[in-house]
Amino acid sequence: MTNIKDIALHCGVAISTVSRVLNDHPDVSQDTREKVLRAVKELHYIPNTSARNLVRTSSDTIALLVKGVNNPFFARLIKVIGREIAQRGYSLELHHMDTSEDELRIGAQLTNERKLIGILFLGGRFNYSPEEMALIHVPSVFCTYTNTFGNLNPSAYSSVAIDDKQAAQDAVDALVALGHRKIAILTDNKDDRSISELRFQGYKDALAMHGIPFEPNLVACTGTFSDMRAIYEATSRLIERDSSFTAIFAIADLMAIAAIKALSDHGKRVPEDCSVVAIDGLELSSYTLPTLTTLVQPAEEMGLLCAKTIIELIEHPGQNRQYTFETVLRPGGSVCRLNG
């Protein structure tokens, strides 16, 4: 393996000169700089930064625990988080979990087994208890967690999320404003103490506020956020059971895309025969036919804030904090006025 001495020998300069070039010191002539950089390339020299890392800390690894890896909204968050953490000089270790696993137990086990300096959680329940939180002995940030069903003290956890209930209400409001009253919902789950239940509650609250009776018949549970076939089939069963609805609120963009296909296969055009609104705001759903009307979650901002917060908690241990982002309606071609 080439080392810094080889480079110096090859170029006929002092080791300290090579070092100055590699560390971008100004007092090196342009000629020498070019010669050294050429040699670095030709001899395939890889700077060894281990020593530098050892000075800083025994570990620089932040774990990212993801529950639901097929979720394209998560993919955007992971990308931003990965970039920011690398830029700040830390390493990111990714762990995927099945939806059947418990994120806090896995997180606790990881901190025991590995030298982690922080954990980011992505996806999971919304009902943590103080006893469960006490399992995590390193700084942590929960991306998408809200404490709705939990009983944590705000000082006990950090989180970045949207107001899921409000977003669901906004989606239903948008449909009601277009004259719809028979509004079906496509949700992962009704009682998972997590994001699906919260959006389902927002749907029910919005109906109540508009004086629209809740109809259990118009609730379709998919059991998944990402399995398109299961979502398609749940929508098909809904249509075959009760096709009186004129609009669907899907709690995620991918669900809406599969629903539009199911509606089309049952002879229902979107938006003429059925309007569809979702939550997510994926770039993809601006390019489907029709384009999707959806409440946009600011994925880039959320991912960046998750990364910044965990690094801040690691570098300057301090108070936990909770951030909530607003969603914004992105108009698309999947809704229209009832009988309009």
Nearest residue to 188 via CA among 284, 244, 276, 123: 123
CB-nearer residue toward a second copy: 28 or 110: 110
Q: Looking at 103, 132, 188, 280, which residue binds a second copy (CB under 8 A)?
A: 132
Q: Sign of the CA dihedral 252, 326, 141, 63?
A: positive
Instruction: Determine the 3-state secondary structure of 180 from DSSP.
Output: coil
Q: 80 or 206: whose CB is closer to a second copy? A: 80
Q: Which is nearer to a second copy, 82 or 223 (CB)?
A: 82
CB nearer a second copy, residue 35 or residue 76: 76
Q: Which is nearer to a second copy, 20 or 76 (CB)?
A: 76
Give the footprint of a second copy on residues 262-301 (CB under 8 A). Answer: 264, 283-284, 286-289, 291
3-state secondary structure of 190: coil
Complex with a second copy: residue 148 or 291, whichever CB lies closer: 291
- Could you give the CA distance from residue 210 to residue 207 in angstroms, rounded to a whole number? 5
Helix (H) and strand (E) counts in the chain: 12, 12
- In the set 9, 14, 15, 134, which binds a second copy (CB under 8 A)? 134
Tokens coding 308? 């910044």
Complex with a second copy: residue 28 or 94, whichever CB lies closer? 94
Smallest gap from Cβ 208 to a second copy, in A, equals 32
> In terms of CB distance, is 138 or 206 closer to a second copy?
138
> How many other β-carbons are positioned within 10 Å of the β-carbon of residue 167?
24
229 binds a second copy (CB under 8 A): yes
Shortest reach from residue 139's CB to a second copy, in Å = 17
Check binding of 57 to a second copy (CB under 8 A).
Answer: no
223 lies in the site for a second copy, by CB under 8 A: no
Q: How far is the CB of 267 from a second copy (least distance, A)?
A: 13
Contact partners, residue 122, CB within 8 Å, separation at least 6: 64, 65, 66, 67, 68, 74, 77, 78, 143, 144
Torsion of CA 95, 100, 104, 106, to 10 degrees: -50
Q: Are 118 and 62 in contact (CB under 8 A)?
A: yes
Q: Using alpha carbons only, what angle is made at residue 44 by residues 40 and 45, rounded to the nearest 5 degrees?
A: 60
251-264 CB burial, b ≥16 within 10 A, e <16: bbbbbbbbbbbbbe
Question: Which string of x and - marks every residue 235-264 that binds a second copy (by CB under 8 A)?
Answer: -------------------x--xx-xx--x
Task: Give yes or no for residue 109 binding a second copy (CB under 8 A).
Answer: yes
Residue with tokens 């899907």: 250
Q: How far is the CB of 233 from a second copy (least distance, A)?
A: 12
SS3 207: helix
Per-residue CA distances from 84 to 103, 161, 190, 307 (Å):
23, 18, 35, 6
The tokens describing 283, both together, are 């770039």
Rg (CA), the chain: 26
- Which residues, numbered 66-105, are part of the site for a second copy (CB under 8 A)? 69-70, 72, 75-76, 78-79, 82-83, 86, 91-96, 105
Name the residue nearer to a second copy (CB basis): 71 or 166.
71
Q: How far is the CB of 86 from a second copy (least distance, A)?
A: 7
**Residues 6+ away with beta carbon under 8 Å from 266:** 236, 239, 240, 243
Tell me: does residue 330 bind a second copy (CB under 8 A): no
Sites of contact with a second copy (CB under 8 A):
1, 44, 46-50, 53, 61, 64, 69-70, 72, 75-76, 78-79, 82-83, 86, 91-96, 105, 108-109, 112-114, 131-132, 134-135, 137, 227-229, 232, 254, 257-258, 260-261, 264, 283-284, 286-289, 291
